[in-house]
């Protein structure tokens, strides 16, 4: 009998079909552990760009995994919290509600953080406000699993709360993130009332402090890095070509807040996160029984490094060579502790990044940097004129935050005034040479956006209760950034949306798939592997049919 698709899902629980199961492939049970690794700001091209020297985990994922070469975060506002929430929920920000890292709460009329929760307290340090998923409007993969398999555990860790929390969904067992003030892994009382002893011991064991006074040097000999296609500069000064070695803290001093904050932009921050993740596997007993467990890992160092030095820097090159090494050890650990045929890994990213615009300009590309204050100054005359005409009931305050979006706070003009103000500001912005489009809130609400090519993308980032008054689409390769060096993300363009999507492990057939797929597909695909049902209204689709293992492949 020819079996088109590995049928363990449909056959599970059905007796007497052993021969069918055997003929299907290497395994007939769901994995004991699914690990979702989200590498912050990992561009899709890093999978191949640095591959010549991958010998560890990225090598295994690339060669033995199902590699989707056209994976996209398919929404316009490509920020960290939305990207992670989309991976875990299978829906776009328009539905899961995490539209940006910080957004304007139109109901409360105040700016809010994606995960900051004033009703919670941090656990692990004293007297600080905590974070929770209370603004996440959807259940995620972890919630689906726990609802259908009460014995399953869901755990999450990242340097960033806005990564670990949206990945984990609404009802995980444990979620931890790195506190940049103290260098400790913490949680909030949304999850736990006290840190478990092993976490306290981990924090006391010096995993972070051991690098204080040391240097980040290149892993491999210098010529390896000179093969990079570009040699990005953090700024315009050629003497900044290579800043290696990077000092970590000041020898002779005790580690302090400055060290703990800067530590995040070293590869060792990802190593410590993975060491913590191994602690989670061991102490939460993940993958130890027949109830499948979920482990989310947000690896954030590449984002801090990429922002400072750019995607084609020696620093990013070295970061991914080291991450390859760290992930090699991590996969070897899972082989040993869970069993090589008992776990599945999905690797993706929350967004990509724009190369340093000055370097693009060197190559003849029409790329440039723009300071947000320039846009604010550019629209100021419109506001002044409107007020002089008496069109505005009160003086609006224009703010820029979390991308090229503007909101009017500190003023409560009438609905008609607000509509007129939005239109006037958007019209003015369109006169700026670096602006391609400007969408008003009211037009987006009505779906009346006169820009066919991009309207859908912005629509997927639009939630009516959580949108600014004007959303700007800069022209391609234009970077909105407050500092004169480094780079950013947040646009709907390919350099920000194109991310790796790789599945690896038990039952996954190696291969490359060039179909255009989306990060919203990851959660339904993993649900399919786990054999659990998903909500009917997901934006994402099950990719498992692309790569399920077939006997004889």
Judged by CB, which is closer to Zn ion: 41, or 525?
A: 41
> Kind of pairing, strands 293-299 and 174-179?
unpaired
Distance between alpha carbon 311 and the CA centroid of its chain, in Å? 16
Rounded Cα distance between 421 and 383, Å, is 8
CA terminus-to-terminus distance, the chain: 16
Least Å distance, CB 351 to Zn ion, is 5
Of 179, 350, 469, 488, the residue at the interface with Zn ion (CB under 5 A) is: 350
Q: Tokens 């295994």 belong to which residue?
A: 60
Which residues within the stretch 48-87 sit at the binding site for Zn ion (CB under 5 A)? 80
Least Å distance, CB 83 to Zn ion, is 6
Phi, psi of 42 (to 5 degrees): -85, 110
Judged by CB, which is closer to Zn ion: 286, or 520?
A: 520
Positive or negative: CA dihedral 179, 183, 185, 186: negative
Rounded Cα distance between 86 and 538, Å, is 10
Judged by CB, which is closer to Zn ion: 85, or 145?
A: 85
Least Å distance, CB 101 to Zn ion, is 8
Which residues within the stretch 23-42 sit at the binding site for Zn ion (CB under 5 A)? 40
* Residue nearest Zn ion by beta-carbon distance: 80
- Please choose, from the candidates 329, 280, 348, the residue with its C-alpha nearest in 3D space to the C-alpha of residue 41: 348
Least Å distance, CB 423 to Zn ion, is 32
Is the CB of residue 168 less than 8 Å from the CB of residue 88? yes
Q: Does residue 270 interact with Zn ion by CB under 5 A?
A: no
Judged by CB, which is closer to Zn ion: 351, or 463?
A: 351
Rounded Cα distance between 48 and 70, Å, is 13
* Residues contacting Zn ion: total by CB under 5 A: 4
- Contact flags string 285-304 toward Zn ion, x per CB under 5 A: ------------------x-
Least Å distance, CB 41 to Zn ion, is 5
Judged by CB, which is closer to Zn ion: 40, or 318?
A: 40
Cβ within 8 Å of residue 67, ≥6 positions away? 47, 61, 500, 501, 502, 511, 512, 513
Q: Does residue 80 have an active-site annotation? A: yes
Q: Tokens 């530590």 belong to which residue?
A: 263
Rounded Cα distance between 141 and 187, Å, is 20
Least Å distance, CB 110 to Zn ion, is 24
**Residue 341 neighbours by CB distance under 10 Å:** 14
Element (H, E) at 117: strand 116-123
Judged by CB, which is closer to Zn ion: 302, or 438?
A: 302
Least Å distance, CB 519 to Zn ion, is 12
- Contact flags string 299-338 toward Zn ion, x per CB under 5 A: ----x-----------------------------------
- Please choose, from the candidates 407, 385, 243, 389, the residue with its C-alpha nearest in 3D space to the C-alpha of residue 318: 243
Cβ within 8 Å of residue 130, ≥6 positions away? 117, 120, 121, 122, 123, 187, 188, 189, 190
| Distances from the Cα of 244 to the Cα of 200, 241, 248, 326, 358, angstroms | 34, 9, 11, 20, 21
Least Å distance, CB 68 to Zn ion, is 19
**Residue 229 neighbours by CB distance under 10 Å:** 7
Is the CB of residue 47 less than 8 Å from the CB of residue 499? no
Exactly one of 69, 80, 519, 525 is catalytic; name it.
80
Q: Is 552 exposed, middle or buried (0-12, 13-18, 19+ CB in 10 A)?
A: exposed
Q: With CB under 5 A as the contact rule, which of the stretches 14-22, 347-355, 425-433, 508-516 interacts with Zn ion?
A: 347-355
Which residues within the stretch 215-234 sit at the binding site for Zn ion (CB under 5 A)? none
Rounded Cα distance between 271 and 56, Å, is 14
Judged by CB, which is closer to Zn ion: 87, or 386?
A: 87
Q: With CB under 5 A as the contact rule, which of the stretches 311-319, 345-353, 384-392, 442-450 interacts with Zn ion?
A: 345-353
Least Å distance, CB 16 to Zn ion, is 49
Judged by CB, which is closer to Zn ion: 163, or 344?
A: 163
Rounded Cα distance between 76 and 404, Å, is 11
Judged by CB, which is closer to Zn ion: 293, or 488?
A: 488
Residues known to be catalytic: 80
Residues found near Zn ion in the complex (CB under 5 A): 40, 80, 303, 350
């Amino acid at each position: 009998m020819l079996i088109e698709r590995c049928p363990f899902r449909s056959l599970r629980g059905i007796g007497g079909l052993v021969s069918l199961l055997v003929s299907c492939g290497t395994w007939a049970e769901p994995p004991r552990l699914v690990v979702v690794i989200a590498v912050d700001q990992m561009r899709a091209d890093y999978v191949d760009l640095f591959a010549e020297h991958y010998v560890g985990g990225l090598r295994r994922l690339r060669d033995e995994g199902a590699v989707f070469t056209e994976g996209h975060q398919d929404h316009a506002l490509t920020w960290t919290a939305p990207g992670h929430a989309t991976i875990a929920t299978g829906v776009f920000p328009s539905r899961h509600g995490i539209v940006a890292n910080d957004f304007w709460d139109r109901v409360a009329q105040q700016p809010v953080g994606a995960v900051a929760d004033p009703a919670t307290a941090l656990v692990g340090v004293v007297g600080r406000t905590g974070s929770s998923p209370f603004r996440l409007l959807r259940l995620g993969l972890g919630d689906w699993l726990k609802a259908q398999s009460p014995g399953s555990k869901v755990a999450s860790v990242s340097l960033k709360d806005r990564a670990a929390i949206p990945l984990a969904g609404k009802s995980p067992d444990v979620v931890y993130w790195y506190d940049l003030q103290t260098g400790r892994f913490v949680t909030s009382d949304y999850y736990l009332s006290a840190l478990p002893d092993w976490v306290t011991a981990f924090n006391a064991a010096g995993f972070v402090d051991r690098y204080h006074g040391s240097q980040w040097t290149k892993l491999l000999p210098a010529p390896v890095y000179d093969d990079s296609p570009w040699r990005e500069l953090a700024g315009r000064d050629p003497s900044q070509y290579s800043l290696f070695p990077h000092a970590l803290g000041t020898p002779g001093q005790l580690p302090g807040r400055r060290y703990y904050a800067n530590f995040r932009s070293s590869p060792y921050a990802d190593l410590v996160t993975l060491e913590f993740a191994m602690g989670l596997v061991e102490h939460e007993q993940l993958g130890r029984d027949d109830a499948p467990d979920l482990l989310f890992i947000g690896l954030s160092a590449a984002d801090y490094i990429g922002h400072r030095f750019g995607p084609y820097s020696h620093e990013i090159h070295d970061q991914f060579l080291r991450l390859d090494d760290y992930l090699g050890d991590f996969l070897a650990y899972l082989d040993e502790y869970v069993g090589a045929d008992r776990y599945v890994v999905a690797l993706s990213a929350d967004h990509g990044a724009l190369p340093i615009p000055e370097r693009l300009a060197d190559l003849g590309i029409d790329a440039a940097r723009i300071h947000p204050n320039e846009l604010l100054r550019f629209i100021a005359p419109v506001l002044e004129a409107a007020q002089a005409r008496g069109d505005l009931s009160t003086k609006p305050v224009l703010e820029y935050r979390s991308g090229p979006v503007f909101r009017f706070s500190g003023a409560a003009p009438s609905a008609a005034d607000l509509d007129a103000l939005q239109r006037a500001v958007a019209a003015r912005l369109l006169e700026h040479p670096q602006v391609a489009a400007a969408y008003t809130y009211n037009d987006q609400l009505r779906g009346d956006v006169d820009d066919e090519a991009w309207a859908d993308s912005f629509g997927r980032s639009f939630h009516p209760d959580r949108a600014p008054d004007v959303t700007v689409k800069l022209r391609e390769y234009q970077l909105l950034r407050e500092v004169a060096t480094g780079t950013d993300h947040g646009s709907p363009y390919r350099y920000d949306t194109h991310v790796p999507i790789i599945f690896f492990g038990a039952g996954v057939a190696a291969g490359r798939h060039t179909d255009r797929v989306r990060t919203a597909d990851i959660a339904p695909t993993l649900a399919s592997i786990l054999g659990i049902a998903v909500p009917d209204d997901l934006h994402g689709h099950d990719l498992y049919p692309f790569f399920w293992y077939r006997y004889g492949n």
